[in-house]
Chain A
Amino acid sequence: MSTVSVSALDRLGRRFGYDERSAAVLIFPVFIVLLAVAIFPIVYSFYTSLFDINLTRPWRRPFVGFDNYLRIFADPNFWVAVQRTTVYTVVTVSVTTVLAVAVALLLNEAFPGRRLLAALVLLPWATPSIVNGLMWKWIYNPGYGLLNGLLVQIGLLDRYKVWLGDPDLTIFMIANAAVWKQMPLAAILILVTMKAIPEDLYKAAKVDGANVFRRFWHVTLPALKPGLMLVLVYETMISIRHFDLFLIMTQGGPGDASYTLSWQIFVETFRNLKFGIGAALSYILALATFGLSYVFIRALGSKL
């Protein structure tokens, strides 16, 4: 009998069971794509954040370790941005989620025209954020916008008003545009989860004599946790980093009314040409995003 050399693969194969190997094969494509496109930029960004880089001074790029981060925390603009971002994210995420649940409940019902309604609900999602920003900017226009026209005709307002340019309102007007666009996806995710709720749970509630609201609170809502988690994580992740709308609608203004963290990153990187600070800000934002997502996943994702 010839000596069969035991290959390394065989040895590995015996150490890792069928499960592990299958998992590795199944996950492999994802990591290839991510490695190529996402991992290098992420690592590069972190590396950049450790240097004091000013592109108008290309001959001097000292390594400063975490000094950039310290400078950011000492900068009052940063805290303004944190406040703006927090308000914006909280408003956007909460309103989107509540609306999404309401819409999902509505679409869950069987009634004539439901299919058409469901299709219409997808309209905002289909709108590119550029078009969305332009459209709402047009609607808010203080001179001939739809919002002004509508409110005046209904009689709620007696003269045309400045919406986007009023610093107390700016962030809410932008949030409104964001909610409008994001609600359909959230509603779909909730609806998909809702459809998967087993009938038995409802039967049990009926037997217990629960009314509409108690049934919703005790049966539907808890069973929606996976969907809610999805929605909360996704909405938070994107709202906290929203940039397109700010670019199109207000450019951080008026004053600093819409000066969010992602706007600050843009300004530092592309206008002030300070790549190091920009990268450091990004990492702070990334940490915040990750932290929030982790909290949501832990709280609502029972099996993860």
Chain B
Amino acid sequence: MTGSPNVSRRMLLGTALSAGAASMWATPTSLQAQSGGAVNFTAWSAAVDQVKSHISAFENASKLKVNYENFPWAQYRTSVVTRLVGNAPMDVLWISDAWLPEFAEAQWLANIDDIPELMKYNADAAPYCTQSMTYKGKQYGLSYYGDHMSFVYNTDILQRAGIDKPPATWDEVVRASLKIKQAGTVEYPLLLALGIDTWLVEFMSAMVFSNGGRFVDPQGAPLMAEPGRGAIETAAWIRDAIHTHKIVSPGAVETPEINSLKAFGAGQHAFYVSPTYRLRALNDPSQAAAAGKIRPALMPRGPKATASATCGWIRFYGMTPSAKANAARRANAAKFMEFFGGKDDSGTYRFQKLLVTDLGLPFCTMPLAADPDVKAFWDKWAGGGDVIAQQASSALKKDVIAPWFGEWNESASPAWQSVFLNKATPEAAMRAMATKWNELRKG
């Protein structure tokens, strides 16, 4: 074609457009992942600096590049599900133990039983952690951290109300709270985070287990609707705490875990059910006014319980099947998982130790318990690690973990809240939960 004006105008336009487009076009990181030298790691936005620092070390040691993306915890599942459904290039990701059956059934996680360099770390891991990562006989990852719900109290408030030791049963909690309330300093001595939150099921499980109860029997049949099995009693106890004794604020149903953390750290309550790792933040003067006064106690027992029990959970590193299917990506992902979930190039569990000493995240690797730095950490930030260790040994895995956990939990949360709001009886709410459980089980 001889340069007719139309053609040259068009060509010019095309060039201009693509130049303009190029200015907005960042290299999609997804492309990098396909090459042999990168690992895609997806996490939620906790311990970000710790992760980044360890990533720097990993990149230096292995000469691989890590594409690290994180989302806020509240949006993590949505974002991850979208990516998994869309087959986005993901290699390693953090997973909550509650999602394991669902994700395994959906074939979003690959089992690692045939990767010996990862399986060897089971020898050092607490059996409870390894079990939490096992579904239908296969193991799906290495642990990131493991923790349990602790009962924490404010020593100062107790002392000023004349209470010399923390309550050991839930009845004692009521008595102590009323005494503190009468002393006039604190309006709602017991803080519970009852807002709809990912943590809610763990809070509820802790309280039900502490009552000696369970949600589900070993065969998977629901027990929650049966009186005397803990769930009804727990729901009724919390409802009474809010409406009868008034030791728990009615605003608790709108308060998610993070806001409760701040409230407790501000010294506004005497007792709180909290993940153990929060002790670090609660006793930190730069974050909490009540720093130095927060101590853990054993979870109070219900009238039927013989020993203190609580709910434990783990979060772990999982590998995607698409990563495992590709030899190069599988090797890189395995290296990454080992560096983070196992020992790094220094031959120690450096990352796990880092998480504890920086943030107070407890670990699954048993040898670390003997480490003097770790002991010193707990002495400093929790007044000693004995109570924590004792509680950890009696922590029970959530028994509602099943392939339909997500859906069941969606209806269970409002059911709990309807009891706390006094809009439904505990019996009716638990019956609804049990019915839903059965319905999904048959599913």
Contact = CB atoms under 8 A, between A and B. Distances in A.
Touching in the complex, A and B, CB below 8 A? yes
A270 interface: yes
A255 B251 contact: no
A74 to B, nearest CB: 13
B410 A165 contact: no
A67 interface: no
Nearest to B75: A247
Contacts of B51: none
Contacts of B252: 165
Contact of A56 (B77, B102, B268, B421): B102
Contacts of A273: 81, 102, 106, 406-407
A252 B196 contact: yes
Given A142-B251, A272-B406, A56 B196 contact: no
A68 to B, nearest CB: 15
A115 to B, nearest CB: 35
Nearest to B105: A56
Interface in A242-286: 247, 250-256, 259, 266-267, 270-275
A55 interface: yes
A11 interface: no
B78 interface: yes
A256 B250 contact: no
Q: Kindly name the residue among A143, A162, A252, A255 whose own CB sees the greatest number of chain B CB atoms within 10 A.
A: A255
Nearest to B407: A272
A191 to B, nearest CB: 34
Interface residues of A, number: 30
Contacts of B443: 54
Contacts of B74: 247
Given A56-B102, A255-B421, A271 B414 contact: no
A252 B414 contact: yes
B363 to A, nearest CB: 29
B195 interface: yes
A164 interface: yes
B418 interface: yes
A167 B249 CA distance: 15
A58 B107 contact: yes
15 contacts: A55-B85, A56-B105, A56-B106, A57-B105, A57-B106, A141-B259, A142-B249, A165-B253, A167-B421, A251-B195, A253-B196, A255-B418, A255-B423, A273-B406, A273-B407
Interface of B: 74-75, 77-78, 81-82, 85, 101-103, 105-107, 195-197, 249-255, 259, 263, 268, 403-404, 406-407, 409-410, 413-414, 417-418, 420-421, 423, 443
